[in-house]
């Protein structure tokens, strides 16, 4: 299913808008809804965009990833971290440490 690139991008933006509305309805994070949408309209499943357009959209991908990181960062609050501070630090250190050990083996 290969469409005109502008039409494909318009459909993706429209689906992104609706995924945010669905995320609000089901009370799930918008990032999760957008990631699920990305999986559903990915190259392997629906092939909405040509491979050439996807290769040329690297700059836009970096901007979108920055926006996703920003929206994730908005959900972090100092009071929340202060309440569970040591647990977060220990879990993060052990997770990073075990990942490093497994990768280097």
**Host domain of residue 55:** 1-74
Looking at the structure, tell me whether residues 3 and 48 fall in a common domain: yes
Looking at the structure, tell me whether residues 68 and 81 fall in a common domain: no
Looking at the structure, tell me whether residues 66 and 82 fall in a common domain: no
How far apart (Å, rounded) are the C-alpha atoms in residues 67 and 73? 10
Residue for token pair 């429209």: 14
Looking at the structure, tell me whether residues 54 and 65 fall in a common domain: yes
Residue 45 has a pLDDT of 56
Q: What is the pTM of this model?
A: 0.50
Residue 38 has a pLDDT of 82
User: pLDDT tens for residues 26-57?
Assistant: 999 888 888 888 888 776 555 656 666 667 67
User: pLDDT tens for residues 62-91?
Assistant: 888 888 888 877 877 777 777 777 888 888
Looking at the structure, tell me whether residues 62 and 96 fall in a common domain: no
Domain count along the chain: 2
Cα 7 to its chain centre, rounded Å, is 22
- Kindly state the tokens that stand for 74: 């908005």
Which sign, positive or negative, has the C-alpha torsion 41, 47, 49, 54?
positive
């Amino acid at each position: 299913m290969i469409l005109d690139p502008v039409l494909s991008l318009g459909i993706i933006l429209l689906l992104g808008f609706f995924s945010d509305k669905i995320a609000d309805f089901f009370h799930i994070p918008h990032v999760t809804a957008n990631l699920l949408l990305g999986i559903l309209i990915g190259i392997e499943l629906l092939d909405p965009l040509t491979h050439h357009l996807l290769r040329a959209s690297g700059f836009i991908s970096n901007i979108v990833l920055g926006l996703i990181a920003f929206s994730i960062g908005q959900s972090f609050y100092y009071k929340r971290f202060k309440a569970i501070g040591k647990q977060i630090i220990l879990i993060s250190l052990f997770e990073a440490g075990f990942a490093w050990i497994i990768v280097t083996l």
